[in-house]
């Protein structure tokens, strides 16, 4: 793995194309244990830098001649605390979903959470893209402690996000 430095200074168009971007923005602003500044917080707001870099990478790959499902990165994985589902009454997770979908559908408008809040797992599908999320416990993934996390998978070129996350 190559360390590229400060995420706010990375230009996605200058990065070698990859198939998948995986990130976990700092969780302090989304955690129920924190002050709940949400995505507007200085730390958790770095999620938007991940989105910016992916958009820059995809635009550069498209300019090199790739089209449709072949534009890279095709996949995105985001990990964070379950508090992301309830932060700012669910608005922060709605924003995560909407900004993720806007990578491939600029006019995307994701509605707010259903009554009772966001479910612990779900999937949304559009024209040629899909996004799925679920809460899992890290103890079942090789971590010697109980630690719940949300995992979100986006497939910008197809409908495999739920298959990747749930199968």
Give the confidence band of 144 by pLDDT, cuts at 50, 70, 90. Answer: confident
Give percent of the chain with pLDDT exceeding 70.
87
pTM for the whole structure: 0.89
Specify the pLDDT at position 34: 54
| Stronger pLDDT, 66 or 86, i.e. the higher one | 66
Specify the pLDDT at position 23: 83
Closest by CA to 21, choosing from 45, 63, 56, 65, is 56
Q: Average per-residue pLDDT in the chain?
A: 88
Residue 17: is its pLDDT beyond 80? yes
Residue 31: is its pLDDT beyond 90? no
Specify the pLDDT at position 1: 67
Specify the pLDDT at position 134: 97
Q: What is the pLDDT of residues 38-51, one digit of tens each?
A: 556 555 567 889 99
Residue 9: is its pLDDT beyond 90? yes
State the Cα–Cα distance between residues 165 and 147, nearest whole angstrom. 18
What is the length of the chain? 167
> Which H, E and C letters describe the chain, residue by residue?
CCCCCCHHHCCHHHCCCCCEEEECCCCCCCCCCCCCCHHHCCCHHHHHHHHHHHHHHHHHHHHCCCCHHHCCCCEEEEEECHHHHCHHHHHHHHHHHHHHHCCCCCCCCCCCCCCCCCCCEEEEEECCEEEEEEEEEHHHHCCCCCCEEEEEEEECCCCCHHHHHHC
Closest by CA to 94, choosing from 79, 109, 82, 116, is 109
Q: Catalytic residue positions?
A: 27
Q: What is the pLDDT of residues 72-129, one digit of tens each?
A: 999 999 998 888 898 888 888 999 999 999 999 999 999 999 898 999 999 999 999 9
């Amino acid at each position: 793995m190559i360390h590229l430095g400060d995420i706010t200074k990375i230009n996605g168009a200058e990065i070698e194309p990859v198939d998948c971007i995986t990130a976990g923005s700092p969780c302090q602003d989304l955690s129920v244990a924190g002050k709940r500044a949400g995505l507007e917080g200085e730390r958790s707001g770095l999620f938007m830098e991940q989105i910016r870099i992916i958009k820059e990478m995809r635009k550069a790959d498209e300019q090199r001649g790739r089209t449709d499902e072949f534009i890279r990165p095709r996949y995105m994985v985001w990990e964070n605390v379950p508090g992301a589902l309830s932060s700012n009454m669910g608005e922060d997770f709605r924003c995560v979903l909407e900004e993720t979908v806007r990578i491939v559908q600029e006019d995307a408008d994701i509605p707010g959470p259903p009554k009772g809040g966001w479910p612990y797992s779900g999937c949304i599908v559009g024209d040629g893209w899909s996004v799925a999320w679920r809460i899992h416990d890290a103890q079942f993934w090789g971590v010697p402690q109980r630690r719940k996390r949300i995992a979100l998978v986006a497939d910008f070129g197809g409908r495999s996000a739920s298959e990747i996350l749930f199968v």
